[in-house]
Amino acid sequence: MPTPVAKNSHAELSSALRPALLRVTRMLRNQRADQSLTLTHLSALAALRLNGPMSAGELASFEKVQPPSMTKILATLEGRGLVRRDVHPSDRRQAIIALTPQGDSLLDSERRSRDAWLNKRMAVLTDEERGVLAAAIPVLVKLADQQ
C-alpha cells in the first residue's frame, strides 16, 4: 500500500508531494544514460514545440530556470543545430528561439524512445491510476507557474 495522504491537510500534502516529485523526477533523469538528449534539453525543445518561437527570457521563465541557465541550454541546442536564434524585428536585444527541422524531428524520435521506456513502467498502473496522473498534469503545471 502506498503512502496514505490526508486530502484535507495542505501541510501534509506539501510535505508528501516534495519527495514524491523529487524521486520520480530522478527516475526520469536516470533514463538519460541511453538517450541522446538530457531531460533538461528535451524539455526545452518540447516547450518550443508547444508554445512556438519565443524569446530566451520567456523560455527561461517557462522552464523555471534563471536566464544564464537557459543561455547554456540554448548554446548546446544551437551547437547541435536543434534550435535557431533570430533577432527580434523591433527589439534587437531579444533573441527569438525557434525549433529547426532537425530539432523538430529529434524531439519526435527522442519522445518515442523515452515514451516506450516510460510506458513500460506505466504498465503496472491501472487505468484509473493513469487517469489520476493525467488529471494531475495541468494541476502541476498551474502550481509550477505560481510566482
Partner DNA sequence: TATTGTTATACTCTATAACTATA
Partner DNA sequence: TATAGTTATAGAGTATAACAATA
In the complex, the residues that contact DNA under the rule CB under 7 A are 22, 26, 29-30, 32-33, 38-41, 55-58, 64-75, 85, 90-96
Contact set for a second copy, span 71-100 (CB under 8 A): none
Output the smallest distance, CB 25 to a second copy, in A: 5
x-marked contacts with a second copy along 7-26 as a string, rule CB under 8 A: x--xx-xxxxxxxxxxxxxx
Shorter beta-carbon distance to a second copy: residue 19 or 101: 19
Q: Which of a second copy, DNA, none binds 57 (CB below 5-8 Å, type-dependent)?
A: DNA
CB 106 within 8 A of CB 45: yes
Phi, psi of 93 (to 5 degrees): -75, -30
Q: Give kind and range of the element (H or E) at residue 85.
A: strand 83-87
- Long-range contacts: 37-42, Cβ < 8 Å, 24+? 37/106, 37/110, 40/73, 41/73, 41/76, 41/77, 41/82, 42/107, 42/110, 42/111, 42/114
Shorter beta-carbon distance to DNA: residue 88 or 112: 88
33 binds a second copy (CB under 8 A): no
